[in-house]
Structure formats: C-alpha cells, structure tokens
A and B are shown apart, each in its own frame.
Chain A
C-alpha cells in the first residue's frame, strides 16, 4: 500500500522507467534539478533510446554528455562496485519542461560505452570531448578523434591522476613535426 502511494507520487519518467527497465536501474533519485537515474552500461543505449522515442516522455534534446572520474570520491566508488568513471548524460524534454540525468558507471578495465550519435547528432562532439578528456571510447562513434587537445597528445587531462600543470607539454611540444 505504502509502496503504491510512493510510486504514484513519483514523476512520470520514473514510473515509466520502473515499469519497463526495472532491472536496468541501479539507482534513482529525485533531485532539485530533476530526476537522476543510474543504469548499467549494457542497458544504457536502450534506455536512452526509449527516453527519446517514447511519445509521453519526449526527451528529444540531449543537453550534455560528460564524465566524472570518481577515483578520489570514495562515497561514489563504493556504490557502484568501484567503477572509476561515471558517464553522465543530461536530457531535457521540451513537452514536459523537465530535466533528467542518466549516469552510467564504467570500469577502468573496460572503457567502452555505446555511442548515442545514432540517436542525437549533437552527441558527436560531446562524446569526442569525453573521449579526449577521460579516454572513454564510444563504440559506434563515426569519428572518434580528440577534439580540444592536439591529435598526438598523450594522456587524458581531466582524469584525477593527471597533474594540473601537465606533463611537460610546453617543453616537448614539437612545432615542426606537429601535424594539426
């Protein structure tokens, strides 16, 4: 009885996801900026596709794709089996005027996530940036190159083990052979 009541009060998107993707959802919460859900890597693409195409939800606008390196955030690490990275998708529904955050834990031993470029063309550069900054490979991406850093750059700057002042890029940057 109590459980039913709480389900009825939760936002439509959570109800829908709990109906259709109950097994895929690792966690969910209602936050001040909307709804946040955590899904397993294998179910992420199907869930995002569902969110985009389901007429009642209409999350047609992919706001952002990014990642967080949780290696120094113990509280997050323990929750998701010590997965180092969290790929974060922000979605927006024009019809419901509501936001949704979808988070996908990614282990360092298998840094591959299926690309959503086939759903949103806007994901192209966002995924490239995430690849560039964190080294997460998006499978099925049409053009997975670095975007902000030079092509021959070594390392992924937004990882927590990358030092703020770099690893001697200025000293070792070769202007003559640099192929931009």
Chain B
C-alpha cells in the first residue's frame, strides 16, 4: 500500500488504497483522509477497467454481445448471459421453451453459488481466515467443472443464446449436480463453524460499515447489501421472470445492515439457491431448448448441411445485418444477479444491432455507498467493508 503524508496540516494523513492492493480484488482505488486511525473522508476513483461495453453494444449484433456480458461480472458470467438474453427476448416478445427456462435457472443459481463462494473465500481471506478460502475454493472448483462440462468454458461461458441456450445439458449433469448439492451443505456448515460464532470474525464485521434501510434505498443498493438492512426485496420474488414463480424459496434478510449481516444473508442465500437447484432438477421438463423459430435460433446442424432451407436460415442468422432483429422500441429488464439488480435497457431501431444498450450494474451503485459506510470508521475496517460489498471491477467500470 502506497501512503503519502500530508505534512502541511500535521494532523490529516492521506492514504491511497489501491488500485493494485490485493484486497481490492481488481482495480479499485480509494483515497482515504485519515485523522489518526479514523476515516474522515473516503473518495473512490474508478474507471481503471473501463472497456466501453455499452459502446461495443452499438456495434455488435444481439448474439455477439453475449460474449461481452461474460466479461462484466466475471464471477458469475452465466447470470449476466441470462439477464441479457432475457431483455432481448422480451424486446422481441418471445418466450423460450420450459426446459430452456429451467436450464437457465439451474445455471443462474449454480453461478450464484459460485459467486457467493468466491466472495466468501476472499472476504474471509482479507480478514486473515485462510482456511475458509481453501474450503470455499474447493467447492467452487466442483461448480466450475460442471460449468466447463456444460458450456465448454470455465469463465467465458457465453452459454445462452437469444431464444435458447448453446446446447442441452450433458448426459451426467443431473448426477454431478445432485452430488454437489448433497455434499455442499456439509461444506457450508464447516464454514459456519469457522466463522459465524468466531470472536475475531464477529469483532471485525459486527457493526462495521453499517447502513440504514432508508439510506440503502436512497443510494440504490440492491441484492444482499440491501437485504442485510432488513428489506425483503428480491426481483426473483417481486417480478418473477423466467420460471422463478414455480420455485419455492425464502428471501433471507438481515437487520443491522453491517458487514456481518451481509455475510449471513449471503450464507443463507446459498442454502436457498441449493433448494432452487434441487427443485429445478426434480421438475426439469423434457423438450427442445431453443425456440422453434428459424429466424431467431440456429437450425440443427443436420438441417444446415442437409437441406437448403436449413442452410439459408443458418446463413441469414450468422450474416451481419440479417440476424435477430427486434422491432423498433425500448425495453428495460432487470434480473437478480448475485450482487443485486442487473438491468439491461435496450433501445432498438429495428436493425440487427442495438441502437443503445445500457447496463445497469449492481456493483456501481453498491460501491457508491462505500464512503457512507466508511466515514467515521477505522482504517482497518476498509478491507472488511470493501470485502462485504463484493464489488467486481469488470462490472463497475464496464
């Protein structure tokens, strides 16, 4: 950590935190003004990972943009894929087959587990709990093997397509996932025994970085950070999309809005995600995984190679300017990503490329409340609060 003393006043010290500090998980930078060890003022600086995703969206066609969504929240690319194609499909006014909806929910919940597990491991590691990191990464590795088998990639999954998914689940998926959700609660219990009643963990997180529920709404916090303040709001419940209305699950809430409650909410969300995965597996319908509309989803390879219609449809979808073309209009679609409300606002001019694609990232608004949580606290709490927010730089800067 690079520190510089502001000697002019003799009292105040300016501490530069990041952008390459190990606890910033990416490229975040906070300039802290300190009086002794207490924080007078915190000023976040961002943009270090700005990649121009929204500009790219105006130049890529609707299916090509899925690749960009992988790189937003790189801890749970499957959730981003899901949220984006859902927005395009709603703009098109189509609904994907039931099996596809269930597969998407399965993958979104598994990626929520993976996201929360990585958060748990690194947040605990930042505060010195190394074993938790090993436990959670052991479990996360199992999930990534499942993702790799399903999508062909660990990180850049690009699994969804407008009107469906890349391919159906692999033959042993059911068995692999059932084995995971059978063993996972045990791993979670191990973590609970390590942290939940741990004196050091409680001292470092309880009452640290608190935010009241009114302030949380005023700042636009969403996801676990909002629920930790005691507001029962989950987009999966409030505006059920895809087939979430057929799933039974609880929305865990906290009461103090501090780092400890954010930890507890995320831990319980993992349990609930397991319930959803279990239900989706038990009730997974048969049938196609893509909409049967040759203007939207690619034809079967056998058709593309064997029939002239199939070849034409394949060609039309792949060729620039002939693919998916939503009608002129605009649409905002929000999904509950692991970090909160992930929204896509798409303006279409009727062509195959979005006229404007706006991404409403949860991390951007969650990170904005950081000074509110830090100011008045101690400098050592910075790492604990930052860890509890789970800010992902790729999504923050886009």
Chain A residues with Cβ below 8 Å from B192 are none
Known: A94-B217, A148-B46, A148-B50. A33 touches B365 (CB 8 A): no
The interface size bin for chain B is 35 or more
Could you tell me the distance in whole angstroms from the C-beta of B231 to the nearest C-beta in chain A?
7
B353-396 vs A: 1/0 string, CB under 8 Å? 00110101000110011001000000000000000000000000
Chain A residues with Cβ below 8 Å from B218 are 60, 120-122
User: In the docked arrangement, what's the CA distance between A88 and B358, Å?
Assistant: 10
Could you tell me the distance in whole angstroms from the C-beta of A49 to the nearest C-beta in chain B?
14
Contact B233 A157 (CB under 8 A): no
User: In the docked arrangement, what's the CA distance between A71 and B116, Å?
Assistant: 42
| B interface residues with partner A (beta carbon < 8 Å) | 45-47, 50, 52, 54-56, 58-59, 90, 93, 215, 217-220, 231, 233, 238-239, 328-334, 341, 343, 345, 347, 349, 355-356, 358, 360, 364-365, 368-369, 372, 397-398
Q: Interface size of A by Cβ–Cβ distance < 8 Å?
A: 41
Question: What is the chain B residue whose CB lies nearest that of A150?
Answer: B47
Known: A90-B332, A147-B46, A164-B59. A63 touches B355 (CB 8 A): no
Given A33-B90, A75-B328, A126-B364, 18 more A-B residue pairs with CB atoms under 8 Å apart are A31-B329, A32-B93, A33-B332, A73-B347, A75-B349, A90-B345, A90-B360, A94-B217, A99-B332, A120-B220, A122-B368, A124-B368, A125-B364, A148-B50, A148-B398, A149-B50, A158-B55, A180-B45
User: In the docked arrangement, what's the CA distance between A149 and B220, Å?
Assistant: 23
In the complex, A62 has a CB within 8 A of chain B: yes
Contact B356 A68 (CB under 8 A): yes
| A interface residues with partner B (beta carbon < 8 Å) | 31-34, 36, 60-64, 66, 68-69, 72-73, 75, 88, 90, 94, 97, 99, 101, 120-122, 124-126, 129, 133, 146-150, 157-158, 160, 162, 164, 180
Of the candidates A33, A88, A126, A150, the one having the most CB atoms from chain B within 10 angstroms of its own CB is: A33
User: In the docked arrangement, what's the CA distance between A57 and B152, Å?
Assistant: 47
**A-B residue pairs in contact (CB < 8 Å), sample of 8:** A34-B332, A63-B220, A63-B341, A63-B360, A101-B332, A129-B364, A147-B47, A148-B50
